[in-house]
Structure 1
Amino acid sequence: MQPRIPPQSLGEQAVGPRADNDARLTAELAAVVSGARRRAVRGGDRQIDTAHLLHSLVENDPEVRSVFDDGPEIARLLGYLVQRSIGYGLRWQGSVEDSGAVPVVTESETFSPLAAGAMDHACDRAAARGPEPATGIDLLAAIVVDPQARAVEVLGRAGIETSAVLARIEERHPQWGRPSR
């Protein structure tokens, strides 16, 4: 019987640090990153992009889900993310998610430049708060501030405004504050 998730090649395993082993992340966020990695591998994507991260956040992090309306909004978002995972994302395959706003050098080829930047930004947000590691809310806030992120496109297609997401984060989690980029 073939495994459902294809194994990573040796090159994919050896490239850069693995964020799911990063001490700057909560165990929950590390699990989200692992889920995003599995989703990218299953989809045949070269890199984890912000939409992979968003999908894994919404599926696995109750705090992140609490930022969205429980009813139709979360249903539309999950429906759109599932559509993307079964074929919508094909137009993104082979392309690199990058806003082009600034030159990006990433430590890891496993993340798109925008996803790597969002991970770093989430860790910076957490470090500014204190010694606690980054959480899913930190990553969600970091993802939605870049209008070029694929996750932002997914949210828009699901009828969810990123400004509303950021306002809800501030309202429900005031200790996180508004991200800056």
Structure 2
Amino acid sequence: MQPRIPRQSAQEQDSRCPAAAADDARLSDELAAVVSGARRRAVRDGDRQIDTAHLLHSLLEHDREVYAVFGDGPQIARLLGYLVQRTIGYGLRWQGSVEDSGAVPVVRDGDGFSPLAASAMDHACRRAARRGDTQARGLDLLAAIALDPQARAVEVLARAGIDANELCARIDEPRDEPRDEYVTEGETAR
């Protein structure tokens, strides 16, 4: 049986991996919630590290913009099905292994993130900075996750019939802001 992620205080987590800290100033509130959700999911699944599939699952749960990129239809249903299956055993073949593409050295200092997930978090922050934003958002992280074909999240996407390259293109497409269901003052219901 693999050991669970050791419980750490927020201060310990912050000092080990600044990009991974849920309250990092470089992360939007939504993305901080995603990181916290992914951490809880990893602990609940008995995984040693947060990997890209944990992050993807948490992104879909916590970020409306990310969910909207996938649209409605059979692919999002399959994707959610695969992610749920993972929590009940689909990912068992991954337990005990480190998610790593081999592109960067494996970090084993207990920061709580797989090397690919830590790299994706850093890439999301750099992506936000390139567009002039001080905080990374969910779409930044989704784009970063989809870049590495060796990522577990990309494997799950492929099994659901979602091409990671096409997903990246959709992320970068201009889109209307999500509209709330409620009518604000001065608007009329349609």
Does the pair score TM above 0.5?
A: yes
Match of 2:41 in 1: 39
Map 1:40-59; keep pairs closer than 5 Å. 40-59=42-61
Describe the SS at the equivalent of 2:22. helix
For the aligned residue pairs, the C-alpha RMSD in angstroms reads 2.4
Greater shift after overlay, 158-167 or 107-116?
107-116
Map 1:7-156; keep pairs closer than 5 Å. 8-10=6-8, 14-15=12-13, 16-17=16-17, 18-105=20-107, 109-156=111-158
**What code does the residue aligned with 2:12 have?**
A
The structure 2 residue matched to 1:159, chosen from 150, 158, 161, is: 161
- The structure-2 alpha-carbon separation of the partners of 1:28 and 1:36, relative to structure 1 and needing over 3 Å to count, comes to same
Residues 106 and 116, structure 1, Cα contact 8 Å, conserved in 2: no
Describe the SS at the equivalent of 2:79. helix
In structure 2, distance between residues paired with 1:30 and 1:105: 22
In structure 1, distance between residues paired with 2:68 and 2:8: 38
**What code does the residue aligned with 2:49 have?**
Q
Report how far residue 102 of structure 1 moved.
Answer: 2.9
Q: Residue by residue, what CA displacement relative to the aligned partner does 1:113-145 show, whole Å, maximum 9, x if unpaired?
A: 000000000000111111430000000000000
Greater shift after overlay, 158-167 or 47-56?
158-167
Match of 1:177 in 2: none
Report how far residue 105 of structure 1 moved.
Answer: 4.5
Report how far residue 14 of structure 1 moved.
Answer: 2.8
Computing the radius of gyration from Cα coordinates, the structure with the larger value is 2
In structure 2, distance between residues paired with 1:133 and 1:64: 16
Report how far residue 101 of structure 1 moved.
Answer: 1.9
- The structure-2 alpha-carbon separation of the partners of 1:90 and 1:146, relative to structure 1 and needing over 3 Å to count, comes to same
Residues 12 and 110, structure 1, Cα contact 8 Å, conserved in 2: no
Deviating beyond 3 angstroms after TM superposition, the runs of 4 or more aligned structure 1 residues are 10-13, 104-108
Residues 5 and 46, structure 2, Cα contact 8 Å, conserved in 1: no
Q: Which structure 2 residue ranges, 5 or more long, are not aligned? A: 176-190
Residues 50 and 112, structure 2, Cα contact 8 Å, conserved in 1: yes
Report how far residue 106 of structure 1 moved.
Answer: 7.7
State the identity as a percent.
70
In structure 1, distance between residues paired with 2:75 and 2:133: 33
**What code does the residue aligned with 1:34 have?**
S
In structure 2, distance between residues paired with 1:161 and 1:123: 23
Q: Residue by residue, what CA displacement relative to the aligned partner does 1:24-61 show, whole Å, maximum 9, x if unpaired?
A: 00000000000000000001111000000000001111
Residue 170 (str. 1) matches residue 168 (str. 2) = no
**If the length of structure 1 is used for normalisation, what is the TM-score?**
0.85
Report how far residue 104 of structure 1 moved.
Answer: 4.7
Residues 26 and 133, structure 1, Cα contact 8 Å, conserved in 2: yes
- The structure-2 alpha-carbon separation of the partners of 1:118 and 1:141, relative to structure 1 and needing over 3 Å to count, comes to same
